Amino acid sequence: MRQIILAIALLADFAFLGTGRADESQIALKDAPGRDQVLNNCGACHSLDYIEMNSPFMDRAVWEAEVTKMIKAFGAPIDEADAKVIAAYLAANYGK
């Protein structure tokens, strides 16, 4: 069911790409182990700008909680192995 909801959301997003979207620049994440998992999982649902915006406030525990929230509260289809890699990448590269 989660995959169907994610697919519908992505299709809806692609349908509106050319119609009045905000002027968002593509964020360039730091090149380190885990970057691909962040791009593929997190970037599928929301802007990656949130990473840099929130990084001054987030330590490892908060990043881990954020990844868990995305999976449990919002239904992000991220497997356990990727979740650990994502949290470690965010803590190492965007943690305080």
**pTM attached to this predicted model:** 0.72
Q: Are 35 and 54 in contact (CB under 8 A)?
A: no
What is the tens place of the pLDDT at every residue in 14-58?
A: 555 544 444 455 678 999 999 999 999 998 889 999 898 888 889
Split at pLDDT 50, 70, 90, the class of 11 is: low
Q: In CATH, which of 2.60.40.10, 1.10.760.10, 3.40.30.10, 1.10.940.10 is domain 2-94? A: 1.10.760.10
Q: 42 to each of 37, 75, 89, how far by Cα in Å? A: 8, 12, 12
**Strands of 1-96, DSSP E:** none
What is the tens place of the pLDDT at every residue in 45-95?
A: 899 998 988 888 899 999 999 999 999 999 999 999 999 999 999 999 999
